[in-house]
Structure 1
């Protein structure tokens, strides 16, 4: 796929960029450009372009505004000590976007074109990738939405794929701390046959009221149970979960109604290399409570693109609280091993890293 490139005539100054990269936060500052590719049944994917970042002109009757036909990805670009810039497993993001596209009846952008688009965009915006100090990175947001102007419940005949980016600082300010969780009784994230495995904005919108409830109870995140029986742990509002047992085995909830995280899959491989068997199966809230009480469960942690890996602390609920497990040793070992690969401090024996420049 060929991309036309129109560079901005007013790039962010070196001085201002240095200020931003010194303390980027998350999702606050955006780079100078954006990438766009359009799709129609007649022309397929076309009009691929990189151009100055600017507001979109969206018709009020655009399908996405009425029927929520939209998907997205989250990924990062990392700068290594030799000043090269790398992506972490972009092919897996491309494959997941393919799956999400099919579930939302959107056109599929081939994986090779997805990776080529992100590569081209990062190459243009490479000055925005922070240096190696701290856990800073350039957060990339590829997304696709139904841009046809019509009112009617059917798959849109015009779609737009875009990539924007925002420099991101370390998720944990002042050091990594266990996150506290609130168990939701009233809300579920997804059900059988639903969109739980798709990365679509509606899944996150449905989690917000439960997240509000968690905040009201002094918790950092909400944990959801399955919709069918209300017994089995699924995931947090935006992170996958793991339970470490005293015999070294690790259990993570099986997929189907939860998001198949790229970090999740990487943790499974890393844990196996460290000698820990990982089981993907149903895991009940009672097993969590009883496991912590008996000492059978020694650690609980969560993972996602933004936080990478974080220990899980206390679980609060209307049925009583579950204290935090005493240890975070394996959690931090896996976290360090993963981050070291991403930032080029350890050999990439898995072939996960993809060089851009």
Structure 2
């Protein structure tokens, strides 16, 4: 029986930043921040050692990290992370969206990368402690929010290829607006050519930095070809669609069914993806998780049997997809505008997140 004590926000000792932003400086920084470019005054942090486990929990001034040049994260990429948002409701309260799913996914990612798990109560305590300190950074305008980035990294000074005997856990926070410049708009998608995000037995289902590093070159190719994002195909047959660089994909068919790639170990199981599936199925929609070939998707767009495409993820929520592009084709979904179901789903989800609509699922968790 587990008799370990529950960790709470009170277990995180606070050292205030003597150079914290003034009200005026904070307001200026939050006026129109580019995604992930502005940060709050503090970090939540804890340290794990092989002999002592987790300890030294604290909230401290936001600062650069000091790492030994032989730190395992720098050489063997022993690192995982999460992403979630804090929302300011009209009543002034601050809420998180399904944070227990982020905690569970981070634990699963940590296991794959041989890092120590952060328990759900510790995960929540670190976030609550940081928000209690930096709650003034949670925006109040439009569809802005405070993006939270918990992460684990191996910090032991050791060039041996083995799991690190020392690990740091940190949570930093960044006020954000829309993920894509210009707000919600249909985006163009480049089909990756000769590059794959993950292979069977790899780390595709873990949220680890190496997966994203490998996506940067094809993402640059997408931009070079006038597209916003890149779509990856499976590594085994180079035939079936998997996900974008950081978002899951859905196709809405003319007959009312919705298709999305099934999770096979190479696709990240998104929190937003799970929520979209729930909303659709509770509407009585026929949602099919299946293998979707690029040829079938292209043919469906061309003959009109696929009427909407959208991507979803924490950062962008739900984003309509207008075009699918490769060296061999350039097809436009329907009339290229945002689909009605896509935008209705987005509205329904964001209404729950911002407290504008009832939350029948208990997805929102109050933290301040």
Length-normalised TM-score, structure 2: 0.95
* CA drift at 1:173: 4.5
Q: Given the alignment, which residue of 317, 320, 325 partners 1:308?
A: 317
CA distance in 2, matches of 1:173, 1:317: 23
Structure 1 partner of 2:239: 231
CA distance in 1, matches of 2:125, 2:309: 37
Structure 1 partner of 2:4: none
Deviates more, 1:144-153 or 1:288-297: 288-297
Asked if 1:98 corresponds to 2:107, the answer is yes
TM alignment of 1:346-357, pairs within 5 A: 346-357=357-368
**C-alpha contact (below 8 Å) 2:258/2:287 kept by paired residues:** yes
> In structure 1, the residue corresponding to 2:102 is in which secondary structure?
helix
CA gap of 1:142–1:175, structure 2 versus 1, over 3 A, is closer
Unaligned runs of 5+ in 1: none
Asked if 1:337 corresponds to 2:348, the answer is yes
* CA drift at 1:345: 0.2
CA distance in 1, matches of 2:166, 2:27: 39
CA distance in 1, matches of 2:145, 2:39: 13
* CA drift at 1:15: 0.6
Q: Given the alignment, which residue of 92, 96, 121 partners 1:112?
A: 121
Asked if 1:197 corresponds to 2:205, the answer is yes
> In structure 2, the residue corresponding to 1:219 is in which secondary structure?
coil
CA distance in 1, matches of 2:216, 2:322: 21
CA distance in 1, matches of 2:76, 2:204: 17
Regions of 4+ moved over 3 Å: 172-175
CA distance in 2, matches of 1:121, 1:91: 17
Deviates more, 1:227-236 or 1:271-280: 271-280
* CA drift at 1:287: 1.0
CA distance in 2, matches of 1:275, 1:312: 24
**C-alpha contact (below 8 Å) 1:134/1:170 kept by paired residues:** no
Q: Given the alignment, which residue of 22, 27, 46 partners 2:36?
A: 27
Asked if 1:59 corresponds to 2:62, the answer is no
CA gap of 1:288–1:22, structure 2 versus 1, over 3 A, is same
**C-alpha contact (below 8 Å) 2:318/2:346 kept by paired residues:** yes
Structure 1 partner of 2:18: 9
Asked if 1:292 corresponds to 2:301, the answer is yes
- Report the RMSD for the aligned CA atoms in angstroms: 1.1
Unaligned runs of 5+ in 2: 1-6
Deviates more, 1:172-181 or 1:301-310: 172-181
**C-alpha contact (below 8 Å) 2:42/2:62 kept by paired residues:** yes
* CA drift at 1:174: 4.0
CA distance in 1, matches of 2:276, 2:60: 36
How many residues are matched? 356
**C-alpha contact (below 8 Å) 2:146/2:175 kept by paired residues:** yes
Asked if 1:320 corresponds to 2:356, the answer is no
CA distance in 1, matches of 2:292, 2:210: 25
Length-normalised TM-score, structure 1: 0.98
Residues 63-106 of structure 1 show CA distances to partners (whole Å, capped at 9, x for unaligned) of 10000000000111000000000011110000000110011010
> In structure 2, the residue corresponding to 1:9 is in which secondary structure?
coil
